[in-house]
Amino acid sequence: MMLHYLQPAKLQSKKIVFEDVFSARDPATLEHLKELSSRRRVIEESINQSSFITEAIAREMSGGLTSHCLRDLQKLEQYLPLLENLIFHVDLVCSNHRVVRWISELKIRWSSALSSSSLFNLRGPKFFQIDNLRYELGMTLYLYAALLRERAIEILPADLVQSATLFREASGVFQHLANEVFPSLQSAQSVERPLEATPSMCTVMSIICLAEAQAVTIRKAEEKGTTVGLLAKLHYGITELLGEATAIVYSNTKEYKDISSSFLEFISSCKALHELRSRKYLAESVKIGEQVGVAVGVLRDALINGKRELPGEESWRSIFGKEIDAAADMLRKFENENEFVWHEKIPSGDELPRLQGNKIANALPYHPKRWERELNFKI
């Protein structure tokens, strides 16, 4: 089983009405602005949980989709091409003082789902305003990627192949945000922003999605009877990926000073869980090679490290506990066999074999779509 953390998709936003701010020169432009507002409003109502539409009507409006997550993804896929087109045309006149004022008057505001101050604020989430359409694009894309990841979790374990693909798609969107969208906001250094609107956090989320894609791939490999030696390397590959994510977080202490402790615990717990699984498979591998004493040493080391890393969150602790129990059972079996049959010395510390990682998951590139329609403004 995998540890699940769905908090990244819990974003909220304030209302935006594009046609109330932008001055359209022709009916076609006005219609585009109204459709933008309409498409965004259904997203706002869903993420802010302010919609009064019944479940039956929502399902009918989406073409029969029963998954709330899938319905939200559909709404975002209808909104994003319209927004990309608006940004394309605004970029052509972005130096105009009237256009600058319009963007400011939109009051683009989003909350953070990973900030501790937003999570524990009794007056509701804190909203961050940045007067830039790419902030709107970035946060909407962030929500899209987080929901792709949530959908990947939702369909486990029914469809492992599709789940892994969705994790890789989410990783690609986060990668696009880190490389193409949010760097353009970095010039506004003095403006307070949510953690989600930083390239480094998007890189962290991209890596997490790759680790999760690899975890799903391992489950498929286990079903096929892949050798335990390879499984050990694949699990440790996840540990290495999450080590990269951890290094990014702790190398940007100023940027991450308000980060949620539960998010940090999720990363560290996943990292420790897959290291434990890697050591367990490594022990099986060396046992097959008739190195029972080494297998015992590997398992003893695994259990010492694993028990130190037990998470506080109950559902994670339960999964972790089952893995520790399985490793303990295996250790007892190997110890008995070594005591009565092999009588091998039990190595420890530097005498134990080193874990080796194999990272095989890669991101699927995100290609933005733009609904190409000419827009004209009164400037």
Please say if the pLDDT value at position 130 is more than 80: yes
Identify the pLDDT of residue 64.
86
Tokens of 243: 């080590």
CA angle 58, 142, 369 (to 5 degrees): 80
Are 44 and 13 in contact by the 8 Å Cβ rule? The answer is: yes
Lowest mean pLDDT among 18-32, 110-124, 146-160, 308-322: 110-124
The span from the CA of 71 to the CA of 57, in Å, is 12
Are 368 and 175 in contact by the 8 Å Cβ rule? The answer is: no
Report the share of the chain in percent with pLDDT over 70: 97
Are 357 and 5 in contact by the 8 Å Cβ rule? The answer is: no
Q: Considering the chain, what is the average pLDDT of its residues? A: 94
pTM of the model: 0.96
Between the alpha carbon of residue 333 and those of residues 229, 326, 339, the distances in Å are 19, 11, 10
Mean pLDDT of 285-294: 96
Q: What is the pLDDT of residues 333-368, one digit of tens each?
A: 999 999 999 999 999 999 999 999 999 999 999 999
With tokens 């490999």, the residue in question is 221
pLDDT grade for 119, boundaries at 50, 70 and 90: low
Between the alpha carbon of residue 232 and those of residues 163, 235, 289, the distances in Å are 22, 5, 15
Please say if the pLDDT value at position 117 is more than 90: no
Mean pLDDT of 129-143: 97
Please say if the pLDDT value at position 114 is more than 80: yes
Identify the pLDDT of residue 1.
82
190 or 271: which carries more pLDDT confidence?
271
Between the alpha carbon of residue 273 and those of residues 22, 305, 309, 350, the distances in Å are 51, 10, 8, 21
CA 55 centroid distance within chain: 27
Mean pLDDT of 202-209: 98
pLDDT grade for 188, boundaries at 50, 70 and 90: low
Please say if the pLDDT value at position 4 is more than 80: yes
Q: What is the pLDDT of residues 243-267, one digit of tens each?
A: 999 999 999 888 898 999 999 999 9
Cis peptide before 157 (omega within 30 of 0): yes
52 or 337: which carries more pLDDT confidence?
337
